[in-house]
Amino acid sequence: MIHSGVAQQPKGAFLALVRKELYSYSISPFFYGVTVFFLLFVSIWLFYVQRFFTLNTASLRPFFAAFPLGFVLVIPALTMKSWAEERKLGSIELLLTMPFSEWDLVLGKFIPSFAVLALIMGLTIPVPLSLLPLGDFDGGTILGEYAGALLLGASATSLGLLLSCVSRNQAGSFLGSAVVLLIMMFINQTTMTLNLPPLIAEGINFFSLSFHFETFSKGIIDTRDVAFFVLTTVLFLFLNTRVLILRKWR
């Protein structure tokens, strides 16, 4: 019985970590500001920048094309406090001395951040729902586009958390994450403007997050792109655990 109680404690403590992070988002006015910003951004992009009603096409590709660009600002805003704030307050040392593995700590940050991002994305659903009666939209394509956006968001969130972990403060975390995400999102644009050898162009495209999102925006779920997002998410989370281990031994 004693052994069983000890074994169950880390699980309950892990859930407490997740709840703590979710609670910190729920009471933060900044979170609500970020949510409103993203909803306005994707709507303005669709109706005013892309001029959806003049396109005369039953496709939401212009709508989902705004997601990668919106993530460049939204995800750094969501992740900048995760580790940088712990470091500023000195509570990260306390976390590292508690009976958690590095994976517990990293997933305790990742799961709430990704859940909040998924919630923000879910709040955009009324936009396509309001447009469905206006044309012969492919529901499967829209679901595929949302699936791709979730995978893209997971990879970008794990990267944002990694950069927050190596940053000294929230401002540095936000700026660093925004710059790195901007590069990783749109580095494939260089292959369109520069006459690069095919091998180099393919290498650049491979590391571009938005390049792997393009197939989803067409309603195509390519297992190679799914694998890319899953593997990069795991890689960034793994690197985050390595950073925590180095900090523990300092």
What's the domain range around 81?
2-248
CA dihedral over 141, 69, 182, 174, signed as positive or negative: negative
For residues 155 and 180, what is the distance between their CA atoms, to the nearest angstrom? Answer: 13
User: What is the value of pTM for the model shown?
Assistant: 0.88
For residues 208 and 180, what is the distance between their CA atoms, to the nearest angstrom? Answer: 11
pLDDT in tens, 52-107: 878 778 788 889 989 999 999 999 999 988 887 777 766 777 777 777 788 989 99
Contacts of 136 (CB under 8 A, 6+ apart): 58
* Structural domains of the chain, count: 1
pLDDT in tens, 173-224: 899 999 999 999 888 888 777 777 888 888 888 888 988 998 887 778 889 9
> And the tokens for 180?
């790195």
Q: Tokens 């991002």 label which residue?
A: 117
